Amino acid sequence: MIGALLRHAIRAAAVAGGAAAATAGARYMGSRRIVASEKLGRALMDTQRIEEALPYTIDESEAALAACAVYLINVAYEAASGISGPPTLDPIGHERAISSDSSGTTATITTTAHEPETRWQFDVVIPGLARISGSRRLEASRFSGSHIKMKTPDTVTIRYDNGYSARIESDLEFASNLLRLVGPQTQLIGNVNLSDNRGNVGLLRIDAAGVVTGTITRGPNIVGRFDGNLTSGLTFRSNSPVAA
């Protein structure tokens, strides 16, 4: 079951990252209308992976950790897609709140710095299920050919009401191709480190082609593997016969 969920999660994010064709100049100017904290907040509110992970937190904790990792990858991708130049920033100290009338989920994003890099603190509450807290940095952009590149390191803690918790630290960079006319214009590259309070630790790597590899270990044993890519989907295969 978890493999299908992860394939759906990454595929949805990759499709969302595509954009209509435009010139490089139009993309750069249009990006200035994007409010970075609001875009991050909307990405954080896509909590389906966190909700789907709940059944695994008891007896398949490695699968729960994998789903939490996919949540962060989705957040990073969705928050980056469409940004092809310096985004609009809230004033330092400004708190932006987003909520869902249907689920009661709320996300609060506070801008804490602009220079030398933009920083946000965020908090997401899913009533009766979990709380997500963390920070994000957006390092200065740079041009490389027709690409604009930005680094977006994240540190996230996910605490479920049933006692399960996961910690995820990413070192991701996104690149937007200002001249690409078809296909996804946003690339996501880098590493994601995982751990939880059930003794699982893991590492995912996303290369320049969008290929994702990685493992989750518990003690000396590999208890699960990731493979796939950001276009066709990511699969996590658990090989742990022992409940965590």
Task: Kindly report, residue by residue over 12-39, the tens digit of the pLDDT.
Answer: 443 333 222 223 333 333 444 578 899 9
Please give the average per-residue pLDDT across 81-104, as a whole number.
86
Are 107 and 38 in contact by the 8 Å Cβ rule? The answer is: no
Q: What is the 3-state secondary structure (H, E, C) of 28-49?
A: HHHHCCCEHHHHHHHHHCCCHH
* Helix 61-80 × helix 2-17 angle, to 10°: 10
Task: Kindly report, residue by residue over 42-52, the tens digit of the pLDDT.
Answer: 999 999 999 99
The pTM of this model reads: 0.82
- Can you give the residue ranges of every domain in the chain? 2-238
- Greater confidence, 179 or 75? 75
Q: Is the pLDDT of residue 206 over 80?
A: yes
Q: Which pLDDT score is estimated for 66?
A: 95
Task: Kindly report, residue by residue over 112-160, the tens digit of the pLDDT.
Answer: 999 888 899 999 999 999 999 999 998 766 545 445 678 889 999 999 9
Q: What is the mean pLDDT of the chain?
A: 81
CATH 1.20.120 fits 2-238, yes or no: no
How far out from the chain centre does Cα 59 lie? Answer: 25
